[in-house]
Amino acid sequence: MILITGATGFVGQALCAELARRQMAYRPVSRTPRPGHLAIGTIDAATDWSDALAGIDVVMHLAARVHVMNESAADPLAAFRAMNVDAAVNLARQAARAGVRRFVFLSSIKVNGEETAPGKPFRASDAPNPEDPYGYSKLEAEQALLAIGAETGMEIVIIRPPLVYGPGVRANFASLMKWAAKPFPWPFGAVRNRRSLVFVGNLVDFMLLCSAHPAVGNRVFLVSDGADLSIGELIAKLSSAQGKKALMLPVPPVLLEGLAALLGRRAAARRLLGSLQVDIGETKATADWSPPYSVEQGLEATVAGSKAKGG
């Protein structure tokens, strides 16, 4: 039996759907009562997980305070630590006492950093370099969980995905998808950045592999679709999936960066124009895994899901 926290979130819903499709036994947890879910109430350092953990062999911990663009907390690091570190540690300690065999933790590539140099993708063995409170909290959670695993014998598996997309995705990716359907020229024809993404179907497939594979315990893994895209290529593929053709103008990146600086949008330009690649070679070799969906299949499924929901 697999316990799923964060079961009502974007990744959690996809994970539960795939577990159901594979007819695997699982117990989804939510903060408030929902059909088919175990209501646990507030998830924090004092949550009692005894009922939820009864009969559980594997925990997949997805519940988290996620990265936000417009932070409102007076002390963001404390807010992230309360949920992403303290609540995770509380669950892990109770899981170990309950005899749980393996604890799978969904972390973030932000533990590695925000940007990669050309031709130098992040690897799981790289020294961590988080730059924001969210990334720091995920790193601290990883370290605490690995320590609990070493102390108790419960196997810890840590997964650091880059940007996750798929049907139902929101925020910036959903906005980009909508804009990609519009008939106007984009200034990214000369941008040669590379960014790794992971389709939620690929992420869920790897997470389920991690529930049972004998070689993945007490390790950190990076995961992606295995095909990195420039911002122009991503927009072109999103346009194509919607039956459109994107027009790319070859504006020099230095001009785009300068304009962004004048507009006070350096951070946004960094996300659009910078590179963030992950190397999944070790993941594929250790777990004998390859992404079951191509990036084109993932983007087509994401567009189809958006249309089905009236997006």
Q: Confidence class of residue 267 from pLDDT cuts 50, 70 and 90? A: confident
Per-residue pLDDT at 124 exceeds 60: yes
- The domain ranges of the chain are 2-166+197-226+278-292
Active site residue 134: yes
Looking at domain 2-166+197-226+278-292, its CATH superfamily turns out to be NAD(P)-binding Rossmann-like Domain (3.40.50.720)
pTM, 2 dp: 0.94
Average pLDDT of span 271-288: 94
Q: What's residue 165's pLDDT?
A: 96
pLDDT at 67 over 70: no
**Mean pLDDT for all residues in the chain:** 93
What is the distance between the alpha carbons of residues 187 and 248, in angstroms, rounded to a whole number? 6
Q: Is the pLDDT of residue 310 over 60?
A: no
Selected catalytic residue, list 134, 136, 165, 293? 134
